[in-house]
Amino acid sequence: MASVVQTVLGPVDAGKLGRTLTHEHLSLNFDEFYIPPPPTLKPFIEKSLCLENIGLVKQYPYGSRENLAFYGNEVDAAVLFDIELFKSAGGGTIVENTSHGIQRKIKLMETVSRQTGVNILAGCGYYVENLQPESVRCMREEELYNSIITEMTVGCIDYPSVKCGFIGEVGSVWPITDFEKRAIRATAQAQNTLGCAVTFHPGRHNKAPFEIMRLYLEAGGKANRAIMSHLDRTFDEKQHFLDFAELGCFCQLDLFGTECSWYQLNPTQDMPSDAQRVEIFSWLKAEGKITQLLGSHDIHTRHRLVKYGGHGYSHLFTNVVPKMLLKGFSQQDVDTISIENPKAWLIGHRV
């Protein structure tokens, strides 16, 4: 099997990926996810991000339109600074999950990778239906498949000199819409054709990851090449994690650094702390599932960047790994989760 991965600067030997974050964004348009904050807090949260309101924005990140504007020259500069910090903390690779529907920025990925020396992989495929133009929503399954194949093997539709390195994030809501089902099946067929890696974004319901995998597997996709993202905001019981891990895909906790008492996108769901995320890893490790575990931050708003008072892309390695080492994880365990598992997902086997 292949032992190279496709980055925005070209093929890279999988052995040189190093510590990898498998679910991040460098630029995207999340404007449609605005949710008004509580009326009493609105005057503070509507201000430009500053020391006075950053604590409130952390609790209600989708209540600030400026915070959701994760694009533009100022954000690009903040992202570049943050990726440099990631590199200095021992980071090697960023898997950039911005797909069609939320406006990926391939040129920025290329620039950041060239200036920092960090490997960056671009994703393809389709995000949730309501963010797609009508011209995409009406596409047949075969057309979705052909688009994915083109971006993986020839070049990005919007930036032909760069090929994508994986399919994702492929997004769906709950219940999964007809378009999203077509996109999932097209993803599975492309995965089967190319033998590539895939990442899914599930709807905010504990049945969603299971249904995505059912559709994906029935359409010919391979479980060991798929990541299910956002499980830390989707499952709220230990048994959900254990049952889902039995399907054989990668189980990703990718909201490390997000610790808030009110999850705006699904207020009925309790957002776990980083300590609880480490505990979830411990459960799954005890069940022999450590080779399926992945961690990341899913940074997609300004307030999580260091320049805006956030934890940045280096948080997992700087702040979480030391906690893991105190909680019964060995350095080999950490390397499995942050180096070996991402590599196995991307190339399909362990080297």
Known binding positions = 23, 25, 169, 201, 230, 298
Query: Could you say which DSSP state residue 25 is in?
Result: -
Tokens standing for residue 125: 């495929």
CA distance 34 to 141: 30
Distance of CA 207 to the CA centre of its chain: 19
Which sign does the torsion angle of CA 307, 308, 311, 314 carry?
negative
Which sign does the torsion angle of CA 25, 343, 311, 279 carry?
positive
Distance of CA 307 to the CA centre of its chain: 21
CA distance 287 to 18: 26
Report the candidate in 171, 85, 94 with the shortest Cα–Cα distance to residue 136: 171
Tokens standing for residue 148: 């994915």
Q: Indicate the annotated binding residues for a divalent metal cation.
A: 23, 25, 169, 201, 230, 298
